[in-house]
Each structure stands twice: as structure tokens, then as C-alpha cells.
Amino acid sequence: MAVKVYVLLAMLMFAGIVSPIAHAQLIGGIGNLSNTVLSILGLVPCNVGIPFSTSNFFPNAVVQLRCNVTVVASTTTNSIGLFSIQTASPFGQLGDLIGNCNITVATPLVTCNPSLPTTANLASVLTFVNSTIGGLITNLVAVNFTIFEGITN
């Protein structure tokens, strides 16, 4: 199961890396988020610093979109550690969104991996993938989770 999820994410990242701008026909111009819904997809690992393909994933974890410390949206990972957040953008510009927001995991890490520090949390930056349905949806992924102490962004 973990391998299938890894393949899915690899495909998403591949799509993002190959043509990050080609699909960005945003309604108000490239990077203008005022009339789009953000769709953020991610996979929360129980380990960091090792490849996704060898990691376990974090089921039933509370995941938050945080911008400038404030929680903008929140959801829970499914049984295989996948999550999806749909929300309006708190910023009008893609650069501001990516520069000021993180995906943070509120559920203590030890729940998933007892060898990780009890005070630590996970956070990932957002990576733009593409823009679909004529710019109505802006797709991003959170696939770069690292351990941090304290509140991030």
C-alpha cells in the first residue's frame, strides 16, 4: 500500500517539476489566487530523512494549513496517511501563500513513531503543482515534511 501511495506522490511531483508554469492559466494571471480554490494534497510520514518509499505513514493525524501562525484550514489524514485540504486562499498571490504558509501536523509524532522526540512536530512547505479547470483550482502538494520545535509560520 505504501508503495502505491509513493507512486502517486511521485507522479504528482513529476507533474509539478515537469510543467510548473505551463498549466498555470490562472484567471487573474499566473500566481493570482483571488478566484481559485486551493487544493492541497499530501502524505504525512512517520519518519523523516529517509525516502518516502521506505517510510511508514501517519494515519488519523490532524493536519493544519498555517499562515503567519494562524490556522487557516484543518483536516485529518486517512488510514494510509493521505490528506486533502480544499480552501480559499488567504493570500491573493501564489508567492505570498508559499512564502508565508506551512502544513503542520498537530497530532504528537510519538503517536506514530515512538522513537521521535515527544515535543517535536512535523511541518512541510507547500509546492505548487498546477492550475486546473481554467484556473478555478490551484493544486499544491505538501511532501517535504521536516521536524521542527515550536510554532512554524
List contacts with ligand NAG (CB under 6 A). Answer: 12, 15, 23, 27-29, 32, 34-35, 41, 68, 98-100, 102, 123-125, 127, 129-130, 132, 139, 144, 146, 148, 152-153
Residue 30 Cβ, how far from ligand NAG at the closest point, in Å? 10
* Residue 135 beta carbon to ligand NAG: minimum distance, rounded to whole angstroms: 9
CB of 34 to ligand NAG, least distance (A): 4
C-beta of 55 vs 102, nearer to ligand NAG: 102
For ligand NAG, the nearest residue by Cβ is 28
d(CA 93, CA 145): 23
How many CB atoms are closer than 10 A to CB 152?
Answer: 17
Nearer to ligand NAG, 34 or 76 (CB): 34
* Separation between Cα atoms, residue 28 and residue 73, nearest integer Å: 23
CA 4-17-34 angle, 5° bins? 105
- Closest of 25, 55, 62 to residue 139, by C-alpha: 25
Smallest distance from ligand NAG to CB 114, Å: 22
Select 77 or 139, whichever has its Cβ closest to ligand NAG: 139
60: left (phi over 0), alpha (psi -120 to 50) or beta: left
- On the 0-12 / 13-18 / 19+ scale of CB atoms within 10 A, 145 is buried
The least distance separating ligand NAG from the CB of residue 37, rounded to whole angstroms, comes to 13
